[in-house]
Amino acid sequence: MPPPRPGTRWVTDFFSYETTKSVVVKSWVVGAVNRGVQLLILAYFIGWVFLHEKAYQVRDTVIESSVVTKVKGIGRYAGRVLDTADYVTPHQVRGRRAPPLPQFPLSDGAEGGQGGGQGDGDVPPQGTSVFVVVTKQILTENQAQGVCPESEAKYHCTADRDCQGKSPTTGSGVLTGRCIPYNGTLRTCEIQGWCPPEVDTVDVPVMLEAENFTLFIKNSIRFPLFGFEKANLPPPGSGGELGRCRFHPERQPLCPILRLGDVVRLAGQDFPTLAATGGVLGIKIGWVCDLDHAWEHCLPHYSFTRLDGLARSPAPAPGYNFRHARYYRWPDGTERRTLTKAFGIRFDVLVYGNAGKFGIVPTLINTVAAFTSIGVGTVLCDIILLNFLKGAEYYKARKFEEVPEAGVPAPPASPMVCPPGALGGCSRDKQSTDSGTFSLGL
């Protein structure tokens, strides 16, 4: 059969068929590399994939959670002793006389930040996964609707023209365009709104007793894929004294009652500083459960961190504060209010987790992947054998052989020359007639 013409050679090559030819190379070097790579791959799959990552399990990453919180403690502020009703349950006050001395409400989801709005409603009560413990307040009492001089320094003036051309609103009201006396020596722009305006630059004490307040967290979780439910409380009849325990990361890591000072410390913060400026802390409860073990082995893990941005120094709008007002009427019928700017520590209870249980499908998938990956050792040994060892061309000639179609005479084979230094020496080829395996022996 004449050789194919150059123009049709690509057709012949396209319809060629390649089959595997086994060549046994008896070399300690190549054999050690091959077995070493195979052992490493097996160790990776057994140690990391199966034992550490538990790839044989079906995992549920959707966690359903509910959180109930309760804060308790007694504090002292401005000569008054404050109990739970003072700093836990704020209520809007509407009556015929001014409210009593400053209270310390504990609020949920209140407006925060440097500028916090002057809210005219209630501060929501505590009890959910986000709450605030107020540690410092600035009060502006007996405010009424009217006109008065603005208290901010940037609204100082000497004449009416200094109050015109500015933004029509300030932090306390609407500019009237007039410059009026603020005191005997200072004049400021006049505003219309709640008067007198707030002065939030005064120094006020901090209720440091809040460091000893306790926080009780009741957390219930459910993994819907497995129908698994559990709570962070000890089961009934377990004998645990829940009311006496206090959380400690080493001695009592499962106690759901936490001291606020410990939470701040474990988050890497200083309580007096944080109480003075306010801040946001995260209480993270992690549920990572192996459901192949008993129910009681699924336990929560508590960790703590500060959530508000402190990456840049000085941070913009540092701390946490908000405003709220309490309204009342005087005997003459005029409506008045007490405006409160409150600083406090906001706590966010964050629940995360996943659960795993044995499954035949992921087990089979990862087992097949492990045995398939063992073939990487063969690829690596072929690269070494055919490119980097002495006699690489000799091994290439033995590994790759072109066989013509049956009935077509093959071109005469040139005698194989065994190069010096070839692995296993140059010995007679041993052929296995039933397996197609060539052995390059010693």
> SS in 3 state form for 366-401?
HHHHHHHHCCHHHHHHHHHHHHCCCCHHHHHHHHCC
User: β-strand 335-358 against 321-329: which pairing, if any?
Assistant: antiparallel
Q: Is the dihedral of CA 123, 128, 130, 135 positive or negative?
A: positive
Q: What is the DSSP letter of 170?
A: -
Q: Tell me what the mean pLDDT of segment 6-21 comes to.
A: 71
Q: Tell me what the mean pLDDT of segment 391-401 comes to.
A: 74
Distance CA 384, CA 262 (A): 60
> Distances from the Cα of 296 to the Cαs of 132, 158, 255, 290, in angstroms?
33, 75, 15, 11
Distance CA 322, CA 342 (A): 5
Model confidence at 237, pLDDT cuts 50, 70, 90, reads: low
State the pLDDT at residue 98: 38
Instruction: Report the chain's C-alpha Rg in angstroms.
Output: 40
Contacts of 65 (CB under 8 A, 6+ apart): 219, 220, 221, 222, 351
Q: Is the dihedral of CA 266, 352, 131, 220 positive or negative?
A: negative
Residue 115 has pLDDT above 80, yes or no: no
State the pLDDT at residue 407: 57
- Spell 329-360 as b/e; 16+ CB within 10 A means b: eeeeeeebbbbbbbbbbbbebbbebebbbeee
DSSP-based three-state secondary structure for 115 = coil
DSSP letters spanning 208-272: GGGGG-EEEEEEEEEETTTTEEEESSPPTTS---GGG---BTTTBTT-SEEEHHHHHHHTT--HH
Does residue 244 come out as left (phi exceeding 0), alpha (psi in the -120 to 50 range) or beta? alpha
Residue 116 has pLDDT above 80, yes or no: no
State the pLDDT at residue 406: 60
Q: Tell me what the mean pLDDT of segment 323-345 comes to.
A: 90
| Global model pTM greater than 0.95 | no
Model confidence at 384, pLDDT cuts 50, 70, 90, reads: confident
Q: Tell me what the mean pLDDT of segment 232-246 comes to.
A: 75
Q: Tell me what the mean pLDDT of segment 49-77 comes to.
A: 90
User: β-strand 279-290 against 335-358: which pairing, if any?
Assistant: parallel
State the pLDDT at residue 290: 94
State the pLDDT at residue 126: 53
Query: Crossing angle of helices 28-43/376-387, nearest 10°?
Result: 150
Residue 366 has pLDDT above 60, yes or no: yes
Residue 174 has pLDDT above 90, yes or no: yes
Model confidence at 87, pLDDT cuts 50, 70, 90, reads: low
What tens digit of pLDDT does each residue of 33-45 get? 888 888 999 999 9
Query: Crossing angle of helices 392-399/376-387, nearest 10°?
Result: 130
State the pLDDT at residue 121: 42
Distance CA 442, CA 440 (A): 7
Q: Where are the beta strands (DSSP E) in 27-73?
A: 57-60, 64-72
Q: Tell me what the mean pLDDT of segment 346-372 comes to.
A: 93
Q: Tell me what the mean pLDDT of segment 333-337 comes to.
A: 92
Contacts of 272 (CB under 8 A, 6+ apart): 206, 208
Q: Tell me what the mean pLDDT of segment 224-243 comes to.
A: 80
Q: What is the DSSP letter of 37?
A: H
Contact at 8 Å (CB) between 317 and 338? no
What tens digit of pLDDT does each residue of 399-432 get? 777 667 665 555 555 555 555 555 455 544 444 4
Contact at 8 Å (CB) between 423 and 30? yes
Mean pLDDT (the chain) is: 79
> Which pair of structure tokens corresponds to residue 435?
């397996």
Nearest 5 degrees, angle CA 20-CA 23-CA 25? 150
